[in-house]
Structure 1
Amino acid sequence: MPSSPSRHLALITGASLALLAGCGSSDSGSDERASSGSDSPSKITVVASTNVYGDIADRIGGGKADVTSIISDPDQDPHSYEADTRTQLALSKAKVVIENGGGYDDFVDRMLKSNSSAEVINAVKVSGRTAPKGGELNEHVWYDFPSVAKVADSIAAALGKAAPDDAATFTKNAEAFKEKLKPLQAKETEIKKKHGGEGIAITEPVPLYLTGASGLVNKTPEEFSKAIEEGDDVSPKVLQDTLALFTDKQVKALVYNEQTSGAQTKKVGGAAKDAGIPVVPVTETLPKGKDYLAWMTSNVDALAGALDK
């Protein structure tokens, strides 16, 4: 579900735009990182809003894409990222842009107004995921493997459009990537066979596509996870209801977003540990030293291991 304005990734300011016009760069210390330091004209310039999509694009590009991931610090809450002139400059040069969409990284669309020629891939739109009736969209589609497969195809198509001579290579690389997603889906099916219908708790909706595909039932009060995601305080009653999930042994595991930890989520995590209920940590961006496939393999394995205890 989209975060409230207070937790949206911050938009570039008018003052920063003025700086961009004057100097074209900024030393503001953003989390922007480039997977390749060059601006080689022989490579397709790709900008991804997070290193999740940057890693996938790099894999599909196979060395023929110069990929920049805007948000890549695993120790930072992605919602606290402040876009700056370096972000604007990178987006202004991109041939292909990959954004999550769904309200997660709105700064990308705002900044792309200066680069109408970029091929833009919106992962949420590509996924086809929509809000449930009477509910809100869960925009964290990178935890949904069928959606990620669709995004891979879209990346291959966009790269192929930018470099037609290499289109077949990009398609082949996307197919190879999708083949490696299949074992992850098989693991979800295995979890569903063993633990389908069992309850879990979450701190935020980040992992719900994964847990849902694994047949698990989220028993967390919606008011709790929504408040945490939007950066709001949880009411005492809702917090008490959430803590009761652990003291009453209503859930088999707590899936905990490590990148947005606060006093109330720490209290929930402590309650789970005190009750002997496993805590499964997840993040919104790639941990250091892991690519997308290794990261998701760790997540699925950790979930299965917790449920088997």
Structure 2
Amino acid sequence: MRRATLALPALAATAALVLAGCSTASSSPAAAGDGPLRVVAAENFWGSIAAQLGGDKVDVTSIISSPDADPHDYEATASDGRTVATADMTIVNGVGYDVWAGDLAAANPSGTRTDLSVGDLVGAKEGDNPHRWYNPADVSKVVDAITADYQAKDPANSGYYDQQKAAFTGTALKDYDAVIADIRAKYSGTPIGASESIVSMFAPALGLDVLTPPDFLTAISEGTEPTAADKSTIDTQISTGAIKVYVYNSQNATPDVQAQVDAAKARGIPVSTITETMTPATASWEDWQTAQLTALEAALAQAAA
């Protein structure tokens, strides 16, 4: 989806603070009897993970929870500001993906809240690929960081958070890890085409070779016009069968992308879809991701046959 720089008309537009570092602000233990930790995630893909890691010791609110909402273009409300102002912890994606979320936290400062920026945690800077929830290694780092922050905020339940993390990584992620390993074992080195840069986040873990020009992937992700040369390159890759599978984001099917999808299908190249945000919204992060990877594996198997 398109990236944009957003204003926050309902909030303090002059806020100059930005979230920096992996986790910022206080990690002071929560006072006894305060109830569950109040956690606010900018997007529900991170919120889903945070809720599972916290169990009944946390209360997670995800500001972006609808598949129809574009996190790039979201305009925060006064209600969102109040939610953040009373939070014990916030989780934002960063990397220019949800600028409004960083501004929201800055406009509602707290001396006790812990602010986690995924981009800062994984060392990604503005202009880098922002789709970190599609990168298995980055997700692992976020799981570790959220657990550590929970334990710092609520040390009395440190063992509980260890148990939640073990259940998440060992049980909830079992199918997700298995399909990644299976794709890598069976289809490593397979050349594929893609519509945008989301695919670049998970293709290395799967061992897949993305042939689509990187500038095209970035252009579609950011809502800018791809070059004629890049479009011609992709047309040739499709018409000659140089790519074996085409993967596209169905939430961002521009005319250029739709033309490529149609051309791939006409050439007999299997097409696999992904979405940028959780679909359906009621799914867990791992169920959503596993379903998409399973569909991709089926497309790879079709291509190999």
TM range (shorter): 0.7 to 0.9
Identity of aligned residues (%): 32
**Alpha-carbon distance change, 10 to 84 in structure 1, aligned in 2, over 3 angstroms:** farther
Query: CA-atom RMSD, angstroms?
Result: 2.3
Report the alpha carbon displacement of residue 9 of structure 1 after superposing the two structures with TM.
Answer: 6.2
Residue segments in structure 2 that go unaligned for 5+ positions in a row: 14-32
Which of these residues, 206, 226, 229, is aligned with residue 237 of structure 1?
Answer: 229
Q: Distance in 2 between matches of 1:257 and 1:193?
A: 25
TM-score by length of 2: 0.84
8 Å Cα contact 1:77-1:259 kept in structure 2: no
Residue segments in structure 1 that go unaligned for 5+ positions in a row: 20-39
> Aligned AA for 1:17?
L
Partner residue in 1 for 2:122? 127
Report the alpha carbon displacement of residue 160 of structure 1 after superposing the two structures with TM.
Answer: 2.0
Which of these residues, 266, 282, 291, is aligned with residue 274 of structure 2?
Answer: 282
Q: Distance in 2 between matches of 1:285 and 1:213?
A: 20
Partner residue in 1 for 2:196? 204
Which of these residues, 288, 291, 296, is aligned with residue 284 of structure 2?
Answer: 291
8 Å Cα contact 2:191-2:211 kept in structure 1: yes
Q: Distance in 1 between matches of 2:169 and 2:104?
A: 31
**Alpha-carbon distance change, 7 to 128 in structure 1, aligned in 2, over 3 angstroms:** closer
Deviations 1:145-178 (A, max 9, x none): 2221221121122222222222211121012111
Q: Distance in 2 between matches of 1:80 and 1:267?
A: 25
Report the alpha carbon displacement of residue 192 of structure 1 after superposing the two structures with TM.
Answer: 2.1
Partner residue in 1 for 2:250? 258
> Aligned AA for 1:294?
D
RCO greater where, 1 or 2, for CA within 8 Å and sep 6 or more?
A: 2
Q: Distance in 2 between matches of 1:224 and 1:306?
A: 22
Q: Distance in 1 between matches of 2:56 and 2:241?
A: 50
Report the alpha carbon displacement of residue 298 of structure 1 after superposing the two structures with TM.
Answer: 0.7
1:169 lines up with 2:156 in the alignment: no
Partner residue in 2 for 1:108? 101
Partner residue in 2 for 1:42? 35
Q: Distance in 2 between matches of 1:105 and 1:247?
A: 37
Q: Distance in 1 between matches of 2:300 and 2:270?
A: 8
Report the alpha carbon displacement of residue 217 of structure 1 after superposing the two structures with TM.
Answer: 0.7
Deviations 1:97-143 (A, max 9, x none): 11112111122221212223321112223234579xxxx52221211
Partner residue in 2 for 1:192? 184
Q: Distance in 2 between matches of 1:79 and 1:129?
A: 17
Q: Distance in 1 between matches of 2:96 and 2:46?
A: 16
**Alpha-carbon distance change, 77 to 109 in structure 1, aligned in 2, over 3 angstroms:** closer
Q: Which SS does the other structure have where 2:251 is aligned?
A: helix
Report the alpha carbon displacement of residue 203 of structure 1 after superposing the two structures with TM.
Answer: 1.1
Q: Which SS does the other structure have where 2:261 is aligned?
A: helix
1:85 lines up with 2:78 in the alignment: yes
Report the alpha carbon displacement of residue 222 of structure 1 after superposing the two structures with TM.
Answer: 1.9
Larger mean CA deviation between 166-175 and 177-186 belongs to 177-186
> Aligned AA for 2:8?
I
Larger mean CA deviation between 169-178 and 136-145 belongs to 136-145
